[in-house]
Each structure stands twice: as C-alpha cells, then as structure tokens.
Amino acid sequence: MIEILTPAELPRARAAGALVATILQTLQGRTAVGTNLLEIDRWASEMIAEAGGVSCYVDYAPSFGRGPFGHYICTAVNDAVLHGMPHDYALRDGDLLTLDLAVSLDGLAADSAISFLVGASRPAESVALIAATERALAAGIAAAGPGARIGDLSYAIGTVLSEAGYPINLEFGGHGIGSTMHQDPHVSNDGRPGRGYRLRPGLLLALEPWVMIGTDRLVTDADGWTLRSATGSRTAHSEHTIAITEDGAEILTLAPGASA
C-alpha cells in the first residue's frame, strides 16, 4: 500500500523528522574516541522517551532478521553498513560510524542515517566514501517532486555512486514511510529513469544510498542482523526522509542549522 498524507498531517511528519534529525545531531556531537556503542544506544533511548516518541526498531522483526532488534539505533562501524546492532565496542580514532535511526512521533515515522569519522583522523578513502553517499542522496532528492517517477530517483542516486566508482547492491534501498517505517514504494539505489510509481504530493519517502568499497556483496554477523562488506572494506550510508510537496520535495530530517 502506498500512503499519501493530507496537508493537515504534514506538520506531524515534520515534527517526527525534526526529532530524528536532532537526536542524530546530538549523538554525533557526543560521540568521541572511547564512546561505547551501547552508550549511544542508551542515549538514543533516553532522547526518544523524553520526546514522547516510539522507537521503530526495538520490536522490529522482519523476515531477514533474527527476532526483534531490541535496540533503539543502528550503529555500524567500518565494514558494517546496515542494521548494525549496538554491542560492547569502544570507538577508536578514525573509525567510520554510521548511525541509522527511525522514530515514530504522534503516529508518523521518520528515518535518517549519517556516516562520519570518529576522532581526528580523516582517512581520504573514507572521506570520499561518505561524500559519495551524501552526493547520491542529494541527487535523489533533487530528482524528487510531483510527477517524477521512482526510477528517476533511483537513476540519479545510482549515477552518482557508479561515477564515484562504487559497486551498487540492490538488495536494500529506500522506501515509502508514514504511519509505519517501511512501506511501498521501494526505491532502489539504481534504476531506469521514467519507470515506476509516479510521485504525488503527500508521499513520504526515505532515500538511503549506501555503498561498500570494491564489492557489492554482504555478509551477516552471528548476531543475525549486522550486515557487513564481504571483503571487510569500509562502507557508508546516508539517509533522509522527504515529503513530496506541490512544487518539489522537502527534507524532513535536516539537522537543525544544516542546509540541504
């Protein structure tokens, strides 16, 4: 089912997006060398509760996972890229951390992910990797608007990733979002322009390009959730929730003070 919000519902979606963005920005600011992934999970849990939100992850139990996720945020380090389960690990200088968070507030969900380097080290390969997913996300958003098709967004995202030299895995991608976290339509991270569902005002989408250096193959950790690069190479992931409006697309999960 594809859910279309009424104009009266949009402010609630904005509030959910602002909450997710604020929590991610706060967590990034608090994260330093030595921060434990379990602390980040606890901080996320506290901020969600304080805001009156509901975690979309704690009870999430899709067919590809092993039972309910049981945590409030995904924390993926270095070669881990998707569904990173928080565990007892203290971050080191130069680690590439991805935080992925989805929260429901007043009945509407927002979903966003950021990748960043911990500490002072700035390994060039990792900087380029993160920048490519951010550019791909921006290109996908730029292609979105009323009348555009899902394939236009997929093509825009995939073109940036391919031109940056990264293989693209199509097993996991973006999605519709609204009263639940994952809905139709699926938004592949590569595709053909002019194909697929035609976007309408009131549609919410989570766009989420992610890549792994030199491979498109994933392996699953023993925890049954965390997905890693099969070769151990570094990975990055950028995600925003957007609303299709009458004249374009509005980013709902933009961090306070950030520009699109």
- List residues near Mg ion by CB under 5 A: 100, 111, 113, 206, 208, 239
Residue closest to 74 by CA, chosen among 97, 50, 91, 107 = 97
Q: In this complex, which beta carbon is closest to Mg ion, that of residue 57 or of residue 155?
A: 57
Q: In this complex, which beta carbon is closest to Mg ion, that of residue 48 or of residue 206?
A: 206
First to last CA, the chain: 29
**What's the min distance (Å) between Cβ of 120 and Mg ion?**
27
Cα–Cα distance measured from residue 221 to residue 225, given in angstroms and rounded to the nearest whole number: 6
Q: In this complex, which beta carbon is closest to Mg ion, that of residue 22 or of residue 33?
A: 22
**What's the min distance (Å) between Cβ of 49 and Mg ion?**
19
Cα–Cα distance measured from residue 209 to residue 124, given in angstroms and rounded to the nearest whole number: 20
Distances, alpha carbon 32 to alpha carbons 3, 29, 35, 189, in Å: 39, 8, 6, 31
Residue closest to 189 by CA, chosen among 144, 235, 157, 228 = 157
Q: In this complex, which beta carbon is closest to Mg ion, that of residue 100 or of residue 152?
A: 100
**What's the min distance (Å) between Cβ of 111 and Mg ion?**
4
**What's the min distance (Å) between Cβ of 227 and Mg ion?**
13
